[in-house]
Structure 1
Amino acid sequence: MLLNVHCTPSIQIFVLIFTTDPIEYAPLPAEECLLTARTAGCMVTGSEIICTFTARDGLNGIDDLTEATTADRISALLSSLTTSEKRAARVLLARYPTVGLESVTSFAAQAHVSAPTILRFIAKLGFDGYPAFRAALRHEVDEGRRGPLSIPRPEADTLIGRYATELSEIVSTTLAELNPSDLERVVECLADERRSIFVLGGAFTNSVATHLSFHLRKIRKKVFDLAQSPQQRADVLADISKKDVLVVFDIRRYQADAVVTSQIAAQRGATVVLFTDYWMSTASEFSDFVFRAKVDCSSPWDSLVGLTAIVETIALELDRTRWSLVRPRLEAIEQIRSRLGQCTSSDDVR
């Protein structure tokens, strides 16, 4: 199969893929085009680059788009889309995946583009047509609803070794896909002590939310855990304003109250930071920043190590950038703990 990938108006990459399976690859950013081509052993001839890849190779960070979500495809292709196609992409990501499950006419109307633009957009994502695009989104919705009762149990004979590898890959994949710009901006928000920070975990993700709160309270003041009870949470949400930050954790088998909480905070002007999975909670529609972690593995229970890795990366960056302020706070906390008699010789109490 010969795939023509435009890199810049003057440069084209022709990729010859030896595979029986249909695979689409994303265009490279223009500034990386020639360098990446030469590094990969491609033949550069004037305005053309001839590359040969096997089915296991990939471009722009996606090794196999058959395993990628539609959101992954959009992220990989966003820089190469036309202005109208980018408008469609952003509307879809903001209301993911709901908008894509509607008719092409409805999608186009919400994105303020023409129906042919939507069809060109999904074709660039690698779908044969709008039905295939919607089928992929429906599959993602189904995956997002999977729970421990519907996931098969792994065989015991290779469990430990294979699972260790899976967990390592979850962490490395999740961190590799972090947007450095978003990470920097979220760290700035969380470091701003003029803001109050409210953290909400779900039934399954509350342990990770608590882990973030622990680090934040060591680093700064005005950090609050939102109650799991929606009724008790309402008392706090009534006071949230544009100077505040809401951090929400919501992964598959998503919680409606987490989505509504995000919506309320956004409507009141707060900055909303969402931690979710690859299928994305619909709370993303109301979020200013979205961090996606890989959660699926051979265990019937989704893994939280990807989310934890993002939390610890943020904590590390906050500590690094604010150490001159963090240190005296930690010293004061340790002195108070000592006076309260809450330190133990084994240092177990934290």
Structure 2
Amino acid sequence: MTIKEKLIQGSDSLTKADKLIVQELLANYPTSGLSTVSDLAARSRVSDPSVVRFVRRLGFDSYPAFQKALLAEVDERMNSPLSMFDKANRSTSNDSFGQYLDGCADLLRRAGELNPPGEYERMVTALADPDCRVSVLGGRYSRYLAGYLNQHLGMLRADTRTIDPIAPEEPHMLEAFGRRDLLVVFDYRRYQADVIRTAELVRKRGARICLFTDPWRSPIARIADASLLAPVESLSPFDSTLVGMAQLEAVVAGLTARLGAAAEARMQALEELAGDLRAGKERDGDG
């Protein structure tokens, strides 16, 4: 098994520091692993000893031994005929539309490599908790992702809502958060200060946090219980939200399967209520 495969495989036994290191290594693979212990620790926002302990858990006696194995894998990959063919094939394409779609497919592939399966499972498990209240928060450009997720959550489970960043004049909003709350946050690069501040304050109140962010990671990643990373680069001058949308839809699919009959019963009840509302509106129109 390669180092990258070990990182992608993940484990429920990983500490929060381990998860941050894994995400940094996968987000900038293999470059991050070729820097010093201190550099990797700083980018992962963990301590130097945390990095050393992590590579030992991967099966290496020391950080230099880890780097030696990583360099061997990089050398093998760089001389791979498949890699050479892939580069040549991409450089000769003149189809802009096709290139963009190829880029989209590449973003989705990279997302699969960036995120250990355990992060996805943790997020689905948190959202499936019937005793928690779910609040979904997005920034200026990711607000629509937050709203889209909440629309689906509302069909599958009770007690969900979207919120805006909490303003200084709204202390009552902050006071209402506690240990039964789960905050789902969308925060991509050019991270939004009021979104970050809201997450930090809500966390201090005891709430859990699930985060959708990019490979460079919002500062919220330090306090999140689960994070999904989405590559955002595209041929356009604008960052792509394609992977973020795919990830939230994957979470919805996983949650639907996890809730099973309970979700089906809720959707049926909501359909009946919608029918009652339509019938009442028709009667009002006739009057």
Q: TM-score range by the shorter chain?
A: 0.5 to 0.7
Partner of 2:210: 273
Return the TM-score normalized by structure 2: 0.68
* Cα gap change, 1:263 to 1:327, in 2 (>3 Å): same
Q: CA deviation at 1:265?
A: 1.9
Residues 96 and 284 in structure 1, CA contact (< 8 A), matched pair in contact too: no
Distance 1:191 1:276 in 2: 21
Of 324-333 and 259-268, the range deviating more from structure 2: 259-268
Q: CA deviation at 1:179?
A: 2.1
Choose 1 or 2 for highest CA Rg: 1
* Structure 1 counterpart of 2:230, from 261, 278, 293: 293
RCO greater where, 1 or 2, for CA within 8 Å and sep 6 or more? Answer: 2
* Cα gap change, 1:220 to 1:77, in 2 (>3 Å): farther
Q: Which amino acid aligns with 2:110?
A: T
Q: CA deviation at 1:75?
A: 8.4
Q: CA deviation at 1:334?
A: 1.0
Q: Within 5 A, what are the aligned runs for 1:1-350?
A: 26=3, 29=6, 70-72=24-26, 92=41, 96=43, 108=48, 121=63, 124=66, 158-228=95-165, 230-231=167-168, 234-341=171-278
Distance 1:254 1:238 in 2: 24
- SS of 2:240 mapped into structure 1: coil
Residues 165 and 198 in structure 2, CA contact (< 8 A), matched pair in contact too: no
Residues 248 and 275 in structure 1, CA contact (< 8 A), matched pair in contact too: yes
Partner of 2:283: none
Distance 1:76 1:202 in 2: 31
Q: CA deviation at 1:176?
A: 4.3
* Cα gap change, 1:233 to 1:121, in 2 (>3 Å): farther
Distance 1:112 1:298 in 2: 35
- SS of 1:253 mapped into structure 2: coil
Distance 1:28 1:341 in 2: 53
Q: Which amino acid aligns with 2:190?
A: R
Residues 135 and 162 in structure 2, CA contact (< 8 A), matched pair in contact too: yes
Q: Which amino acid aligns with 2:106?
A: E
Residues 211 and 226 in structure 2, CA contact (< 8 A), matched pair in contact too: yes
Q: CA deviation at 1:204?
A: 0.9
Unaligned runs of 5+ in 1: 1-6, 8-24, 33-68, 100-106, 114-119, 127-156, 343-350
Q: Deviations over 1:224-280 (max 9, x none)?
A: 111246347643222111221111111111111121122112212211111100111
Number of aligned residues: 231
- SS of 1:224 mapped into structure 2: strand
Q: CA deviation at 1:323?
A: 2.0
Q: Which amino acid aligns with 2:243?
A: G
- SS of 2:190 mapped into structure 1: coil
Return the TM-score normalized by structure 1: 0.57
- SS of 1:300 mapped into structure 2: coil
Higher strand share: 1
Unaligned runs of 5+ in 2: 10-22, 53-61, 69-93, 280-287
Residues 145 and 245 in structure 2, CA contact (< 8 A), matched pair in contact too: yes
Partner of 1:13: none
* Cα gap change, 1:111 to 1:207, in 2 (>3 Å): same
Higher helix share: 2
Of 162-171 and 311-320, the range deviating more from structure 2: 162-171
Q: Deviations over 1:72-116 (max 9, x none)?
A: 2788899x9xxxx7xx79x93xx74567xxxxxxx65x9698xxx
CA-based RMSD of the aligned residues comes to 3.8
- SS of 1:341 mapped into structure 2: helix
Distance 1:206 1:162 in 2: 28
